[in-house]
Amino acid sequence: MTWIKICGTTSLEDALLSVEAGADALGFIFAESPRRIEPERAREIIMELPARIEKVGVFVDPALDYVRKVAQLTGITRIQLYGDEQPGLLRAVEKNLPLRPITRAIGAGAHLRETLVALNGSGAMDSILLDSGSAAQRGGTGKVFDWKTAKEAIGQSGLNVRWIIAGGLKPENVGEAIRLFKPWGVDVVSGVESSPGKKDPGKLGKFVAAARAAAEEI
């Protein structure tokens, strides 16, 4: 089964809609973004969610103390780092928050091969999320990256991690992404929204259904 994460959660209503649609994980963004949420509000939402749902905290170039504070306050169960974090920070987060797995998110741009090579052997993370973001806008761009080139880079990387595909996914193309990459998971934001930070129930249902159908084919 392909792990499905609905990111950019900003309200309890949207969180419950995502759960009802069949999501495995919800993402809460604690960095500059139209979908940013304050830790106190995230805590209120997370308290209402089923235990089986993974709660992912998304950070961009954070201080270790901030990650630790947010994790302890909110109850997030996974940490996603999406910036220029060095391996030392990943190891420090792993040491200080040992029960929360780490996803390293990177932009699948022109230097993807070099980035993956640099990550080989860095440890700490259990998964890598490939997105179409950049330094100016880390995620939520609604754009698809070069899947063919990225697939080749993954194959050449030698990395033994779980792969998560993001970037411009929507109900109409998530099945194609799953059939091509055969990833551990997929991550969506703008593809299931009616506006930034507001989920669309119809798109949520169609996205999860399309992802599940494709996963059964591989």
Active site residues: 7, 131
Rounded to the nearest 10°, the torsion over CA 192, 195, 200, 204 is 10
- Residue 83, judged by CB atoms within 10 A of its CB (0-12, 13-18, 19+), counts as middle
- The radius of gyration computed from the CA coordinates of the chain, to the nearest angstrom, equals 16
Q: What's the CA gap between 181 and 136, in Å, rounded?
A: 26
Q: What's the CA gap between 125 and 103, in Å, rounded?
A: 6
Cα distances (angstroms) measured from residue 73 to each of 43, 69, 76, 77:
7, 6, 8, 11
Contact between residue 29 and residue 36 where contact means Cβ atoms under 8 Å apart: yes
Contact between residue 169 and residue 141 where contact means Cβ atoms under 8 Å apart: no
Q: Which amino acid is at 2?
A: T
Q: Helix, strand, or coil here: 3?
A: strand
CA atoms lying within 13 Å on the CB side of residue 193? 20
Task: Identify the H or E element spanning 203.
Answer: helix 201-217
